[in-house]
Amino acid sequence: MNDRIDLHTHSTVSDGTYAPAELVRYAKEKGLRAIALTDHDSIDGIDEALAVGREVGVEVIPGVELSTDFSEGAMHLLGLFIDRTAPSFLQRLAVFQAARRERNPKIIKKLQEMGFKITEEEVTAAAGGGQAGRPHFARVLMEKGYVHSITEAFEKYIGDGGPAYVKKSQPSPEECIALIHEAKGVAVLAHPNTLRLPDDKLNGLFERLVNAGLDGIEVYYSTHTPEETVRYERLAAEWNLAKTGGSDFHGKHKPQIDLGVGKGTLRVPSSLLETLRRRKERRPP
């Protein structure tokens, strides 16, 4: 029990519903040895998470999740073990956060034009002081009775390519990997199943990412099928990438996914964390 970890989680700082302190206490309750806090484009929860982690005896790995510009599907990169004081890193995060703030009123406008009574203030309130993202739009639409679930809001309106979708400018994968390295972190390809790439194109992509310095791949993930898990294990071995795993816990925004166990069967052994740590230590300063 005590040798399990979760290297992909969100707090109220981005689009999770547990405050960083609550998240770490919940990790303790779930018997996890370590968690990485990987909020979208923000490191604002890390100090709080680290403090509570020390108090309750859960290792907290400072992390971040970055969305990259990739047309075929969604390519997200996790930065783990990041030094959140690196100036160039903080500057770029501020730019990514600004892109979110510019996008939000555009989504509101589209939803209003479609006849929904929704305001930016309501979405900001749903974000509760953290940065507002699409799950908060989904939450407001659900609370107003326009949809029955967060998933339905994405499928019908705000999901990629949907009628109220607004693209935000996003950095290239190469830029994200370089940025994570500048912050002394390890760069991990998150949930590779959302790339939506056929097998024959995966190799080309991995060549590109490994050339850019990719360190790891999230092999164990809440929504990977057993077949996908095997495929990603194989890719990790082929490309000499560290394997990681995480639930992508968002609290009530993804009610079917629980911390540490995903949909119930996810298990991430802490041995993966030790391999990742060694990888970081080998990285040139």
Residue ranges binding Zn ion (CB under 5 A): 65, 248
Residue 15 in the binding site for Fe ion (CB under 5 A): yes
User: Which of 82, 118, 141, 150 contacts ligand AMP by CB under 6 A?
Assistant: 150
Q: By C-beta, is 3 or 168 nearer to Fe ion?
A: 168
Of 42 and 273, the one with the shorter C-beta distance to Fe ion is 42
SS3 189: strand
Q: Is 93 in the site for ligand AMP (CB under 6 A)?
A: no
> Per CB under 5 A, does 41 bind Fe ion?
no
> Based on CB atoms, which residue is closest to ligand AMP, 33 or 260?
260
**Residue-wise DSSP of 210-264:** HHTT--EEEEEETT--HHHHHHHHHHHHHTT-EEEEE--B-GGGSTT-BTTTBTT
Indicate the burial class of 127 (C-beta count within 10 angstroms; 0-12, 13-18, 19 or more). buried
Per-residue contact string for residues 189-228; x = within reach of Fe ion by CB under 5 A: -x--------------------------------------
Q: Is the dihedral of CA 17, 23, 29, 30 positive or negative?
A: positive
Residue 25, token pair as written in the block: 């206490």
Give how far Cα 101 sits from Cα of 94, 106, 123, Å.
11, 10, 12
Query: Whose CB is nearest to ligand AMP?
Result: 133
Considering the complex, what minimum distance in angstroms separates the CB of residue 189 from ligand AMP?
15
Closest distance to Fe ion from the beta carbon of 257 (Å) = 11
Instruction: Tell me which stretch binds ligand AMP (CB under 6 A): 113-121, 150-158, 176-184, 220-228.
Output: 150-158
139 lies in the site for ligand AMP, by CB under 6 A: no
**Which burial class, exposed, middle or buried, applies to 92 when counting CB atoms under 10 A from its CB (0-12, 13-18, 19+)?**
buried
